[in-house]
Amino acid sequence: MEALTKEEMLARLSEIKEKCLACQKCSLAETRHNIVFDDGVPNPKLMLIGEAPGFYEDQQGKPFVGKAGQLLDRIFASVGLTRKKDVYICNTLKCRPPNNRNPLPDEKAACWEYLSAQIEIIKPGIILLCGNVAVQSILGNAGGITKIRGNWFKAESAVVNVYGARMMPIFHPSYLLRNDTREKGGPKWLMWQDIQEIKREYDKL
Using the rule CB under 6 A, which residue among 171, 188, 194, 195 binds ligand URA? 171
Largest CA distance in the chain: 47
Using the rule CB under 6 A, which residue among 37, 76, 153, 175 binds ligand URA? 175
CA pair distance 51, 3, nearest whole angstrom? 27
Q: How far is the CB of 178 from ligand URA (least distance, A)?
A: 9
Using the rule CB under 6 A, which residue among 35, 68, 111, 129 binds ligand URA? 68
Binding mask 17-36 for ligand URA (x = CB under 6 A): -------------------x
Of 201, 34, 40, the residue nearest 122 (C-alpha): 40
Interaction residues for ligand URA, span 95-154 (CB under 6 A)? 131-132, 145
40 lies in the binding site for ligand URA (CB under 6 A): no
Q: Dihedral, CA atoms, 53, 56, 57, 62, nearest 10 degrees?
A: -160
For residue 49, what are the CA distances in angstroms to 67, 137, 139, 170, 182? 17, 10, 12, 10, 25
What does the binding site for ligand URA look like in residue numbers (CB under 6 A)? Answer: 36, 50-54, 57, 63-64, 68-69, 91, 131-132, 145, 171-172, 175
